[in-house]
Structure 1
Amino acid sequence: MEFADRLALPEILVGRRTRGFLWPGPPVPGERFASGRHSLFDGSFTWPVMVAKRTALDHNVGTLAAFAERHGLALAPHGKTTMAPALFQAQLDAGAWGISAASAAQVLVHRSAGVPRVLLANEILDAAALRWLAGEIEHFEFLCFVDSLEGVRALSEAAGAVPFRVLAELGHVGGRTGCRGLAELMEVAAAARDAEGVELAGVACYEGTREGAEEVRAFLRDLRDAAEAVAPHVPGRLVVSAGGSAWFDLVAEELGPLTGELGALVILRSGAYIAHDDGFYRERTPWNRLPGEGLRPALEVWAQVLSVPEPGLALVGMGKRDVPYDIDLPTVRAVRRGPAEAAVPLGGVTVTRVQDQHAYLTGEGLRPGDLVSFGISHPCTAFDKWRVIPVVDDDYVVVDLIDTCF
């Protein structure tokens, strides 16, 4: 099957409705805006604004691509993190096998961009979406999860000329989706094997809901047992998939050997790695256990101090619409006090809470008008807050724009 080399990237327009940009005139194409080499601080932006650091993005894409290649893994980065076709393209250019998705709506975006292989890392029972997919999978490779007889039946009833290729998903008690145990998985796998319009392709899991390395290892070994059990019933090459951004080293250790033992295609689905962060993943990255530099935080949010109404308290114009707050609050990185002054590290100041449009900072040294940069935690709830994201070099000159499709 032949695929286009380049994705169909959405057209970006910068204008009055582009949040974070101060562009009051007629809208201009994003490419034209980026060619202007605007500084983040030259008056072309208003606050708050989230930016992505080019060197960090490039480093992270290359780092995980090299990790996957060293361990013989295929990489299908989870597109839900960014929903940015330009970043999908960067990942595919670096050797990614395909892009993962979490919903039928995301598959539609992936296909509109021309992603050649999509792994829907979730169950799908939406009859209308399945009817669309039944015709579309004649033109691209598609895999999805299944964890119930009802799911198999829904796929079978909607199938067209090309069968739906499925991965029987293994879960655990108290976890997310997935069959609760090998016996249940084998029942679902047998139904998929026998159903008209459905083809059993392998097994999958998500290990991120397990606590600690030993629980993760044990769960991945259960998936390995499941892979061995279903392998005789899979026509063609067995597919095995796992892997968020916190435990991909253990996925490589526990599942990587299946590439030789069973000739399996082992697909890693990490997504948050592309942006990394200054919170959740900084504390949980496998590079805390692996040698080498590891990943770099790529996202920053710049916001302005609006008020210092009492000693030790500063109010910044940045809130829940602008930064993630579902796991950790943002972290203070640096302050820039004037147009001619460079940003300097700022210690001893902490974000204590965020409201719709304000963040509360405790600590000394801030005054109204200061610009503060923040690191974020959990990039999967950062990209969705921004329609257009400036990409900046290390001097904060805009070199590109990212368009998101949430």
Structure 2
Amino acid sequence: MPAYDADAVAALAEQQVSWQDKALPPAFWGKTVAEVLAGKPRLSQLPTPLMTLSAAGMRHNVDTLASWCQRHGVELAPHGKTTMAPALWAMQLDAGCWAITLANVFQLSVARAHGFRRVLIANEVISPLQLRWIADELAADPEFEVLVWADSVRTIEIMEAARSAYVGPDARPLDVLVEVGGIGGRTGARDAETAVAVGNAIAQASTLRLAGVAGYEGAIGHGVDEADLEEVREYLRDLVEVHHRLRDLYPSDVVPVVSAGGSQYFEQVAKVLADLTGEGARVVLRSGAYIAHDDGLYRRVSPLGETPRTDGEQLIPAMHGWIRIVSQPEPGLALFDAGKRDLPFDQDMPEPQLIRPRADGEPVLEATGMTVTKLNDQHGFLTFGEVPVVIGDELRIGLSHPCTAFDKWGLIPVVDDPDAADPVVVDLVRTFF
């Protein structure tokens, strides 16, 4: 069976765009996505503020990490919460990804609406209503697979009580991964004894199945110097210990999953965990931000960023903002038409990069000496020096942290070349937040 419903994903192109899609002007309202794209619109036909994706950049990033995982003997289940875009999930699965990772049951419903058949929920699911819906999905589609996390015996008791009161003895079990955490981290059992107790509780439950071990090293590490990397490796070795202690509890028909690996330390995860594949385990990374990469956080910390820590081509920033100068109230200060509701700001301020041509035939200019100093709800503050801006100028800006960029845009134009004077829009990506 295919990894998703290609017809459901393709049908996104038949949806009409409207006033609800802030990326598109009134001239396109009422047209389908396919009809808009048939006209080969250019960036100059779209309003600001705007966020775009680079078709070439995303293709490069998806292929780069797919090749890297293949060379290092690990699988990839990218965290779909980053983009919440089924069309991009499909692109990642087409490149060989093992599954899509999501963070909650709402996100799972988006995946199921588009026929995605293998999903890892990197979270505890204890709502009886949600557990019943998942049970119905498992019963309705024999090809559907879902794995959830648990970090306490109490969690297992709640899940078992909710499911045993709803499903019959012949129902498919729900696959559960024991979540291992660390002191100061996020969720996850804080010691091996607790984790093993959780594994035992899963194995003894009548409606659950022990399917492996998981964790998130990004909540443990805080930098990329050698001391930080060793702290991450130590945590990953704890993950291995729990997996080894649970080996006798795995059902004979289960290939146990051992999963870690966000977008910051995936090379450390492969270094510590990849050998488990030789013992019959499936090692699964969950990197999500790589598809867009960025001009901030992940440019600095990714193993394939500006200072690579592993083999392979570097990732390329594939998301950009586009803004317009609307005011120059003081010398050296300009305000633009985008703010916190349009641009990510939790990790870094946007980075001015280019000034679009002010008239036909004029060149693209480098936005040197410019800094975004502050964002309000709908305004941004830009300081400038030797290279001036004037009211009406349009700038391209680099963005930091994809996880808080995509959620601000329900429809995202994809351009052929973000460096061009007037890029062509080659796709429109629908998100579901």
- Alignment TM class, shorter chain as reference: over 0.9
Matched with 1:405 is 432
- 1:116 CA drift (Å): 1.2
Paired residues, what number? 403
Correspondence 1:185-264 to 2 at 5 A: 185-211=195-221, 212-235=228-251, 236-260=254-278, 262-264=279-281
- 1:186 CA drift (Å): 0.5
In structure 2, do the counterparts of structure 1 residues 121 and 29 end up closer, same or farther at CA, with 3 Å as the change threshold?
same
Residue from 169, 174, 188 that aligns with 1:164: 174
Whether the 8 Å contact between 2:17 and 2:33 is mirrored in structure 1 is: yes
Matched with 1:312 is 332
Whether the 8 Å contact between 1:53 and 1:392 is mirrored in structure 2 is: yes
Correspondence 1:340-359 to 2 at 5 A: 340=360, 341-359=362-380
Residue from 289, 292, 316 that aligns with 1:275: 292
Whether the 8 Å contact between 2:184 and 2:220 is mirrored in structure 1 is: no
In structure 2, do the counterparts of structure 1 residues 295 and 4 end up closer, same or farther at CA, with 3 Å as the change threshold?
closer
**Aligned: 1:390 with 2:413:** yes
TM (norm. structure 2) is 0.90
- 1:337 CA drift (Å): 4.2
Matched with 2:35 is 32
- 1:157 CA drift (Å): 2.3
RMSD, matched Cα: 1.4
Whether the 8 Å contact between 1:7 and 1:85 is mirrored in structure 2 is: no
**Aligned: 1:296 with 2:343:** no
TM (norm. structure 1) is 0.96
Whether the 8 Å contact between 1:322 and 1:386 is mirrored in structure 2 is: yes
- 1:292 CA drift (Å): 3.7
Which aligned segments of 4 or more residues in structure 1 are displaced greater than 3 angstroms?
1-5
**Paired letter, 2:338:** M
**Paired letter, 2:203:** R
- 1:3 CA drift (Å): 5.6
Segment drifting more, 100-109 vs 229-238: 229-238
- 1:339 CA drift (Å): 3.8
In structure 2, do the counterparts of structure 1 residues 32 and 209 end up closer, same or farther at CA, with 3 Å as the change threshold?
same
Tell me the SS of whatever aligns to 1:357.
Answer: coil
Matched with 1:106 is 107
Residue by residue over 1:79-111, the C-alpha shift from the partner in whole angstroms, topping out at 9 and shown as x without a partner, is 000000000110010011110000110011111
- 1:404 CA drift (Å): 0.2
- 1:155 CA drift (Å): 1.9
**Aligned: 1:23 with 2:26:** yes
Residue from 150, 175, 181 that aligns with 1:146: 150
- 1:298 CA drift (Å): 0.5
Unaligned runs of 5+ in 1: none
**Paired letter, 1:390:** P
Measured in 2, the distance between the counterparts of 1:194 and 1:338 equals: 69
Whether the 8 Å contact between 1:280 and 1:377 is mirrored in structure 2 is: yes
**Paired letter, 1:57:** M
Residue by residue over 1:131-179, the C-alpha shift from the partner in whole angstroms, topping out at 9 and shown as x without a partner, is 0001112320110100112211222123331111100000011210000
Measured in 1, the distance between the counterparts of 2:4 and 2:78 equals: 19
Segment drifting more, 331-340 vs 301-310: 331-340
- 1:246 CA drift (Å): 0.5
- 1:20 CA drift (Å): 2.2
Measured in 2, the distance between the counterparts of 1:26 and 1:325 equals: 30
Tell me the SS of whatever aligns to 2:334.
Answer: strand
Tell me the SS of whatever aligns to 1:8.
Answer: helix
Q: Percent identity?
A: 46
